[in-house]
């Protein structure tokens, strides 16, 4: 089978999975109740979600610019933000890993250093992933402690501490080599696809083991602000738009769970995964399924808004022959 045929089959598989997940979600709700929930949406919060989504991408562009400079690649924040918007535009029709390749291609054309761009993008995403996972575990542990589930809370906090410690040792110039080999060995039981991608990320992140703690701290702080404050703001505004009322701690670990699951490229534009996750988990807190689905759709409009900005940039670049 040719590589192109395999790509088409993968795309069709992702479309099929997306359709199955969305069909399951809509089968769980009353369409009449859902329509009434939609008509009662607080639309002014929708604009807030769009602006917060742009702010999230802007801070990601700032972090990536700092990382690229460490790799001797000078790219403006506007170009990085535009590349993110164009990626959002393509992500509406292409699988996640393919649409991300669009961003890599744009930055490669701007810098002429494809490997440096790849390692910078992976390092930035790995840092953000660590921030989101740790925040989610801490929030979930706090919630479980309030529910008198002390052992589970301690397990969550212990796992969060282990993730932080592993990240510090991985990025240290003295301990980075052995930790990288240990983590690569731990990937052996996983399926080949996940194992190869995990090794690729570790190899690219290893490039930054001699960058110094100030550099790592700066990137981590930006991602903490972006992931915890701005990311949480998006969830809070989307929840308000859909009349979803849950504790802030719940929104934090929900944000982390959806973020981690979104990195598994099984659907188009994360459709289906986000809806199933929010409808299922928010239902544990007594949230109506129609409201949970509406909250998910409100967040999806943020991606559509970014995609429209990306389409505008794509048109501008085409007209200016860039």
291 versus 265: which is more confidently predicted?
Answer: 291
- pLDDT, tens digit, 9 for 90 and up, residues 290-310: 999 999 999 999 999 999 999
pLDDT > 90? residue 256 = no
Q: How far apart are CA 273 and CA 265, in angstroms?
A: 10
| Whether 136 contacts 252, CB under 8 Å | yes
Q: Which of 17-21, 36-40, 281-285, 308-312 has the highest mean pLDDT?
A: 308-312
317 versus 135: which is more confidently predicted?
Answer: 135
Query: What's the per-residue H, E or C state across the chain?
Result: CCHHHHHHHHHHHHHHHHHHHHHHHHHCCCHHHHHHHHHCCCHHHHHHHHHHHHHHHHHHHHHHHHHHHHCCCCCCHHHHHHHHHHHHHHHCCCEHHHHHHHHHHHHHHHHCCHHHHHHHHHHHHHHHHHHHHHHHHHHHHHHHHHCCCHHHHHHHHHHHHHHHHHHHHHHCCCCHHHHHHHHHHHCCCCCHHHHHHHHHHHHHHHHHCCCCHHHHHHHHHHHHHHHHHHHHHHHHHHHHHCCCCCCHHHHHHHHHHHHHHHCCCCCECCCCHHHHHHHHHHHCCCCCHHHHHHHHHHHHHHHHHHHHHHHHHHHHHHHCCC
Q: How far apart are CA 233 and CA 214, in angstroms?
A: 27
31 versus 218: which is more confidently predicted?
Answer: 218
- pLDDT, tens digit, 9 for 90 and up, residues 173-216: 888 888 888 888 887 887 776 677 777 777 777 788 888 889 99
Q: How far apart are CA 60 and CA 54, in angstroms?
A: 10
- pLDDT, tens digit, 9 for 90 and up, residues 67-115: 999 888 889 999 999 999 998 888 876 655 556 778 888 888 888 888 8
Q: How far apart are CA 317 and CA 242, in angstroms?
A: 37
> How many C-beta neighbours within 10 Å does residue 245 have?
11
Q: What does pLDDT average to over the chain?
A: 85
Tell me which residue of 53, 59, 81 sits closest to 233, measured CA to CA.
53
Look at phi and psi of residue 321 and say left if phi exceeds 0, alpha if psi is from -120 to 50, else beta.
Answer: left
pTM passes above 0.75 = yes
> CA dihedral in degrees (198, 203, 204, 206; nearest 10)?
120
């Amino acid at each position: 089978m040719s590589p192109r045929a395999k790509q088409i089959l993968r795309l069709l598989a992702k479309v099929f999975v997306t359709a199955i997940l969305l069909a399951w979600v809509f089968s769980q709700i009353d369409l009449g109740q859902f329509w009434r929930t939609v008509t009662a949406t607080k639309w002014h919060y929708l604009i807030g979600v769009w602006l917060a989504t742009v702010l999230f991408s802007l801070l990601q562009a700032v972090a990536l610019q700092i990382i690229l400079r460490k790799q001797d690649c000078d790219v403006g924040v506007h170009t990085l933000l535009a590349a993110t918007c164009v990626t959002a535009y393509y992500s509406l029709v292409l699988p996640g890993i393919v649409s991300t390749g669009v961003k890599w291609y744009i930055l490669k054309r701007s810098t002429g250093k494809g490997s440096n761009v790849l390692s910078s993008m992976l390092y930035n995403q790995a840092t953000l992933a660590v921030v989101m996972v740790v925040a989610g575990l801490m929030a979930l542990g706090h919630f479980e402690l309030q529910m008198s589930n002390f052992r589970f809370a301690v397990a969550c906090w212990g796992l969060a501490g282990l993730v932080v410690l592993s990240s510090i040792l991985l990025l240290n110039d003295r301990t980075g080599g052995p930790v990288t080999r240990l983590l690569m060995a731990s990937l052996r039981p996983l399926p080949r696809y996940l194992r190869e991608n995990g090794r690729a990320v570790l190899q690219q992140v290893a490039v930054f083991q001699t960058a110094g703690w100030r550099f790592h701290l700066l990137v981590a702080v930006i991602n903490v602000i972006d992931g915890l404050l701005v990311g949480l703001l998006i969830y809070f505004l989307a929840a308000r738009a859909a009349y979803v009322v849950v504790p802030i701690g719940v929104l934090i670990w929900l944000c982390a769970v959806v973020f981690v699951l979104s990195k598994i490229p099984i659907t188009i534009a994360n459709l289906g995964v986000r809806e199933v996750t929010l409808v299922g988990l928010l239902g544990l807190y007594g949230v109506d399924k129609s409201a949970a689905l509406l909250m998910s759709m409100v967040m999806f409009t943020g991606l559509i808004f970014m995609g429209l900005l990306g389409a505008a940039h794509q048109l501008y670049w085409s007209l200016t022959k860039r």
